[in-house]
Structure 1
Amino acid sequence: MKYTTEITIDLQRDEFIKILDNPDNMQHWMRGLLGYNMISGEPGQEGSTMNMKFKRGKGEMEMVETILKRNMPDEFHATYDTKGVHNIQRNYFKEENGKTRWISESEFQFSGFGMKLIGFLMPGAFKKQSMKYAQDFKNFAEKGISVTNS
């Protein structure tokens, strides 16, 4: 399953990147993030891996981020792996009239019958979640509104 989301953030690209690139800010826009820890490599750099733990409903979910490409301020690509799901994210950042357009291409690969069924029956839920993260980032970056207060 593949889809693209876009959002415009009312910040110049260098300010946008400073906020996005600071791992301490993740808790303010990644709803449900309980914590993260480095597994290998230099934080934020190509080839590094990080474990991320999220609260999901009544349970928890862990995923591993692997940075594939870091060409800031233009693009950032990573994979996110959790049980039954391999997610490839290609993010592009365009400076437009003092604002930043964030284009995110998502590709989900499912394994196991259960995850394949969810991907088939509920593809809109994945895109909706991606847009929610982008909107939460926008609210934090522009207005200082953190999801930790909700």
Structure 2
Amino acid sequence: MKYTTEIVVDIPRDEFIKKMDDPENMKHWQRGLIKYEQLSKTPGQEGAQMSLSYKMGKREMDMVETIIKRKLPEEMHMTYDTKGVHNIQKNYFKDEGDKTRWVSETEFQFSGFGMKLMGFLMPGAFKKQSFKYMQDFKAFAETGKSVTES
């Protein structure tokens, strides 16, 4: 399953990248994030891995993020792996004067019958969740509003 989402954030690209690139900020825009742990000696660089733990409703989920391309401020690509799911995330950051356009190309690859079925039956839920993270980042970047406050 592949889809593209995009949003314009009303801050300059250098400020956008600084906020997005700081893992301490993830808790402010990634709902359900419980903790993260750097698994690599060179965090934030190509090949670096980070463990992420989320709680969504009653369900807990652990995944590993791997940075596969880091060419900031223009783009950054990662993969996310958890049981039954391989997610490829290609993020592009376009300078639009005092604003930044964030374009995210997402691909989900499912293994196992249950995850394949969920991807087939509920593709809109995945796109909706991706866009929600973008909206939450926009609110945090522009106004400092954190999802931990709601």
Q: TM over 0.5, yes or no?
A: yes
Distance in 1 between residues matched to 2:97 and 2:77, nearest whole Å: 24
Q: CA deviation at 1:111?
A: 0.2
Deviation string 1:34-81 (CA, Å, 9 cap, x unpaired) is: 000011241111000110000011121000000000000000000000
Distance in 1 between residues matched to 2:122 and 2:77, nearest whole Å: 24
The answer for the alignment partner of 2:118 in structure 1 is 118
Is 2:98 aligned against 1:73? Answer: no
Q: How many residues align?
A: 150
Superposition pairs of residues 42-61 of structure 1, within 5 angstroms? 42-61=42-61
SS of the residue 1:124 aligns to: helix
SS of the residue 1:31 aligns to: coil
Q: Which runs of 5+ in 1 are unaligned?
A: none
Which residue identity lines up with residue 64 of structure 1 in the other structure? V
Distance in 1 between residues matched to 2:137 and 2:58, nearest whole Å: 24
Which residue identity lines up with residue 118 of structure 2 in the other structure? I
Distance in 1 between residues matched to 2:147 and 2:53, nearest whole Å: 16
The answer for the alignment partner of 1:86 in structure 2 is 86
SS of the residue 2:15 aligns to: helix
Distance in 1 between residues matched to 2:20 and 2:40, nearest whole Å: 20
Distance in 2 between residues matched to 1:39 and 1:84, nearest whole Å: 21
The answer for the alignment partner of 2:143 in structure 1 is 143
Structure 1 segments, 4+ long, off by >4 Å, are none
- 1:41, 1:49 within 8 Å by CA — same for their partners in 2? no
The answer for the alignment partner of 2:97 in structure 1 is 97
- 1:86, 1:109 within 8 Å by CA — same for their partners in 2? yes
Distance in 2 between residues matched to 1:45 and 1:132, nearest whole Å: 26
Which residue identity lines up with residue 55 of structure 2 in the other structure? K
Structure 2-normalised TM-score?
0.99
Q: Which runs of 5+ in 2 are unaligned?
A: none
SS of the residue 1:17 aligns to: helix
Distance in 2 between residues matched to 1:53 and 1:149, nearest whole Å: 19
SS of the residue 1:40 aligns to: coil
The answer for the alignment partner of 1:25 in structure 2 is 25
